[in-house]
């Protein structure tokens, strides 16, 4: 596609529920990143994929968060037993090769609200 897309754009769920957030990166980009952005703050790194593998997952806050990229393109961020503190905008970005100087292209984000 022309850019990074994320679905859904908004997700409202109840505390304790399971949610999945989807990211479609730019075609041909091997690197994919997930970030979380709270209101009024800069994005916070969660996880980075190079191809199908998670090359750096040091930003995942706890084991309730998990992400996959089984075919090296689309990625899904999964959150189990959601808590109110998980409410944020979840941003996805992709870059061509994941080099340190590659430009990252961001999607519009998914706004998650946990009631």
Partner 1 sequence: KNQVEQSPQSLIILEGKNCTLQCNYTVSPFSNLRWYKQDTGRGPVSLTIMTFSENTKSNGRYTATLDADTKQSSLHITASQLSDSASYICVVSRTYGQNFVFGPGTRLSVLP
- Report the candidate in 56, 59, 53, 112 with the shortest Cα–Cα distance to residue 87: 112
In the region spanning residues 51 to 70, those forming contacts with partner 1, defined by CB under 8 A, are: 55-56, 58-59
Q: Select from 21, 107, 112, 114 the one that contacts partner 1 (CB under 8 A).
A: 107
Q: In angstroms, give the least distance from the CB of 70 to partner 1.
A: 20
- Asked if 104 is part of the footprint of partner 1 (rule: CB under 8 A), the reply reads yes
Strand boundaries in 2-95, DSSP class E: 5-7, 10-13, 19-24, 31-37, 44-50, 53-56, 65-68, 75-79, 88-95
Q: Select from 33, 60, 73, 77 the one that contacts partner 1 (CB under 8 A).
A: 33
- Asked if 31 is part of the footprint of partner 1 (rule: CB under 8 A), the reply reads yes
- Asked if 12 is part of the footprint of partner 1 (rule: CB under 8 A), the reply reads no
- Report the candidate in 13, 32, 16 with the shortest Cα–Cα distance to residue 104: 32
Q: Is the distance from CB of 27 to CB of 111 less than 8 angstroms?
A: no
The residue ranges that bind partner 1 (CB under 8 A) are: 4, 31, 33, 35, 40-45, 48, 55-56, 58-59, 91, 93, 98, 100-101, 103-109
């Amino acid at each position: 596609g022309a850019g990074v897309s994320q679905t859904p754009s908004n997700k409202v769920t109840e505390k304790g529920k399971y949610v999945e957030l989807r990211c479609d990166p730019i075609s041909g980009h091997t690197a994919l990143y997930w970030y979380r952005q709270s209101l009024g703050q800069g994005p916070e790194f969660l996880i980075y994929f190079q191809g199908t593998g998670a090359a750096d997952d040091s930003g995942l806050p706890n084991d309730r968060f998990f992400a996959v990229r089984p075919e090296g393109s689309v990625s899904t961020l999964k959150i189990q037993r959601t808590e109110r503190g998980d409410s944020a905008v979840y941003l996805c970005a992709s870059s061509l090769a994941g080099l340190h100087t590659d430009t990252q292209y961001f999607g519009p984000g998914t706004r998650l609200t946990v009631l």
